[in-house]
Amino acid sequence: MKSTMGVVNISKESSINKKKAIQTQEKNEPLKRKRKVATGDNLLAVKKFKGKGKKVCNLREIPLEILFEILYLLTPSDLVNLSQAGKDFESMFRGPDSPTIWKEVRHNVVPALPPCPPDLNELEFAELLFGKCCHYCAKKIMPLHTVWEARQRICNQCVKQWCTTEIPKMQLKSITDLQNYVPSICTYSGHRGTRYYFATIIDDWRKAYNKSKAKAKWKTSKIQELEMIRQVSYRIIWLLLSHIFISS
């Protein structure tokens, strides 16, 4: 009996000694320095160090010719992702040199992408093509609907919040000529579908019409603009469908 008690005491003492040794070791260890990570607008300005005496080259120090050669190897979807990394990239892809960059990266996609519509810049067009977030809540909630006539991407939750089921004719009132051009989307619950209209677009049209002095001229020019957007949207959708068919 005494021998067993002695063994138990020894095992307890050894476990206590181990805990004390671990605690002293943790106290003596130097504190690990947190690594600085570049975020937002500071993305291009912060130098990241990798090991002693080594540093990753600052993107601001790279000559534009070399930086452009790197960008030319990417795809439009890569540029969209880069534009969301910071304002430096975003301004670069919207700046005066951006058409050259976008023209080159288009060649990296086979089959060829449709041309950019005249009412959008290249970044906006690429974001509509390859973006993965809702324009209203900025979340990746599936399913996402890209409505080309509205130039917007929207999720089902935001459709119910920001769109209306009311017939556009009742809302447009004095500009009922535009009712056939109101962008809409149909969501389904089982076999039943509900058509929603973009209420924000209807409000914008109504405000612009009320502010205009030459209302008849505004209405005519608006119909021409919307007709152009519709035709371009149909062409883009057709080319995208053929793009998916060929790539599959």
- Express each pLDDT in 110-129 by its tens digit: 777 778 888 888 888 889 98
Same domain, 143 and 229: yes
pLDDT in tens, 155-173: 999 999 999 988 777 677 7
Same domain, 88 and 184: no
Same domain, 127 and 170: no
| Predicted model pTM | 0.66
pLDDT in tens, 28-86: 555 455 544 444 444 444 444 455 555 555 666 778 888 888 889 998 889 988 888 88
pLDDT at 7: 46
By the 8 A CB rule, do 135 and 142 touch? no
Domain residue limits at 160: 134-241
Q: Which of 81, 104, 131 is the last residue of a domain?
A: 131
By the 8 A CB rule, do 64 and 72 touch? no
pLDDT at 22: 60
Same domain, 147 and 216: yes
The distance from CA 246 to its chain's CA centroid, rounded to whole angstroms, is 25
Residue 81 included in any domain? yes
- Give the residue ranges of DSSP H helices in 29-94: 64-71, 76-83, 87-94
- Give the residue ranges of DSSP H helices in the chain: 2-28, 64-71, 76-83, 87-94, 98-106, 122-130, 156-162, 168-172, 199-211, 215-247
Other CB atoms closer than 10 Å to residue 240's CB: what's the count?
15
Residue 176 included in any domain? yes
Q: Which of 83, 108, 131 is the last residue of a domain?
A: 131
How many structural domains compose the chain? Answer: 2
- % of residues, the chain, pLDDT over 90: 17
Dihedrals φ, ψ of 188, to 5°?
-120, 140
The most confident of the ranges 11-15, 165-169, 192-196, 235-239 is: 192-196
Q: Which of 107, 131, 155 is the last residue of a domain?
A: 131
